[in-house]
Structure formats: structure tokens, C-alpha cells
Amino acid sequence: MKALLHRTIPATGEQIPALGIGTYRAYDIEHTNPRWTAAATCVADFVAAGGAVIDCSPMYGRAETAIGELATEFRPRLFVASKVWCTGRAAGHKQIETSFQRLRSERLDLMQVHNLLDVDVHQETLSDLKRQGRIRYVGVTHYHAGAHVHLEQVLRAGRYDFVQVNYSLGELEAETRLLPCAQDLGTAVIANRPFMQEALLRRLHHRPLPPGAAELGCVTWAQALLKFVLAHPAVTCVIPATGNPQHLAELIAAACGPLPDANLCARWRVAIRDW
């Protein structure tokens, strides 16, 4: 098996695999859920392939608790991220401590302010936790282009190690200012919604693959869309949400091979626009 692509975290020079797992909906499960066994297989396969980044949030129901259990034996090999999503300093402290408990870890790799909610208050808390060594990196997130201006302002006003933002062939707004801003500031980028929560896959599934995709080893639209996101030089990691081992294998294959160059990406943008 080919190795997963790796990218560098600008703040430290640490390298992480460029393919991660998002946990929205896919891991909002417990033992009694029929999907539990598949999710357990998915996590094990992900780690076996060299994967590391798993992104959670208190907003995602039972996801933190599920990952805490499913990933316990793999914890030293993982890069686990979560978020704070509430208002007020005291509530933020309490929620973060709950995340540590649910994820069964005394130290997390990345803690992010989710959707910019009370970002100034939580930034101070996360900076304190970083100084204490309880978290390694601090980030800020959003999932909607309407927040990109605010995200850029926050990045320029304070030192964040990571920004997580929606970016896909169907949501290109981050290319205008936010991704260049992250590059200028040396901020790592986690791309979420690479398939627009499957809306992009539903839109394109009956279309032929874009020009040059087959030559890059793509046999599905999911692979082409993933490669497009990874082709942007600002993107450090992309986090499609999946608890399906077959889908994960498809994405791993895409994250191990060559990526489209700038000219091919431009052609893909035109193809999507015309459809």
C-alpha cells in the first residue's frame, strides 16, 4: 500500500497525514447502534493505513464518547482534535474538561473554537491550556462561507495554529482570501465539507469524471473531489466524515496517489460551473 500524503503544520514543522476523519453524524452512535461495528472497523482501518487526524466536537452528539472508546488502543498514534462550542468562560472550561473525559485523554492535540462562538473568551482559555501542555495546538473553525470575513479577521488579530473551513469543488469561496491568508500567516488549514455533506456527490454522480481524473487513478467522484481539495497548497488536512469502511478505503486510495496540478484544477472548476 502506498503511504498517505503528509503535510507540514507551519507553526512547528510537525507532519501529519493529509487525510483525516470527521465525526459529524457518522460517529453519533453507541453500542446498540447497528453501525457501531462498521465504525470500529473504520477507525482500525484508518490507523492501519497510516491515518491519524480525527476531528470531534461536543456539537456532534455522542461522537466524542464513541471515539474515546473506539480509538483507545490507537491513541498514541492519533492526532485528536475537538472543539469548544458554548458561551462564557466557565461554561467553556467545563465543556473542555468534559471533552477530555469523553475522549479518554489527559492531553489533546488540537482544541478549536467552534463556529467562532465567543471566540475572544475561549481563545484566552485555549492559550492557557496550551501553556499548561494540556493541548498542543489552538484553532478556530467555521463551516459556512458567510463567516469567512470574520475568520480572516480573527486569524489576523491573534495567533492560531489551525483554521478549519469549508472548502470543496462546490464551495470555492475560501480560495479568494481565507486560504491565501492562512498561507501568509503560517496557519495550518483543515478542510471540512469536501463533499458538501454528500450534496456534491448527489449532484455529480451521473456525470462523467472530470478531465484527467482517470489518469490520476480516480474511479469515483469522491476520489476526484478529495484530490481537488488536497491539491490546494494551503490545505494541511481534509476531514470527510465517514464510518463506512468501504468508503474509507476509497478515500485512502485517493490520498495516496498523485494530485491534479493548477491547470487541471482550473479545468475542473469550469466543468462544475457549467453543470
Q: Assess whether pLDDT exceeds 90 at residue 158.
A: no
pLDDT bucket at 159, cuts 50 / 70 / 90: confident
CA atoms within 13 A on the CB side of 121: 13
Question: Where is 132: in which H helix or E strand?
Answer: helix 119-132
pLDDT at 274 over 80: no
230 pLDDT more than 70: yes
According to DSSP, residue 125 is labeled H
Q: CA end-to-end span of the chain, whole Å?
A: 35
Q: Is the pLDDT of residue 275 over 80?
A: no
Query: Could you read off the pLDDT of 114-140 as tens digits, one per residue?
Result: 999 999 999 999 999 999 999 999 999
- pLDDT recorded at residue 273: 82
Using pLDDT thresholds of 50, 70 and 90, give the confidence band for residue 22.
very high
Confidence of residue 272 (pLDDT cuts 50, 70, 90): confident
Collect all residues with Cβ–Cβ distance below 8 Å to 40 and sequence separation of at least 6.
Answer: 70
Domains detected in the chain: 6-206+232-258 (3.20.20.100)
Residues 88-99, mean pLDDT to the nearest whole number: 97
- Mean pLDDT, rounded, for 69-96: 96
pLDDT by residue (tens digit) across 196-225? 989 999 999 899 999 999 999 999 999 999
What's residue 163's pLDDT?
98
pLDDT of residue 55: 98
- How much is the pLDDT for 98? 97
Distance, in Å, from the CA atom of 158 to the CA atom of 149, rounded to the nearest integer, reads 15
Contact present, 223 and 195 (Cβ < 8 Å): no
Record the cell numbers describing residue 220, joined without a space.
Answer: 469515483
Percentage of the chain beyond pLDDT 90 is 95
Is 81 a residue whose pLDDT tops 90?
Answer: yes
Give the pLDDT confidence score for residue 1 in this predicted structure. Answer: 59
What is the C-alpha radius of gyration for the chain, rounded to an integer number of angstroms? 18
Question: Distance (Å, rounded) from C-alpha 43 to C-alpha 6?
Answer: 19
Q: Buried b vs exposed e over 128-137: b needs ≥16 C-beta within 10 Å? A: ebeeeebbbb
Q: Is the pLDDT of residue 19 over 90?
A: yes
- Tens of pLDDT, residue by residue over 57-67, are 999 999 999 99
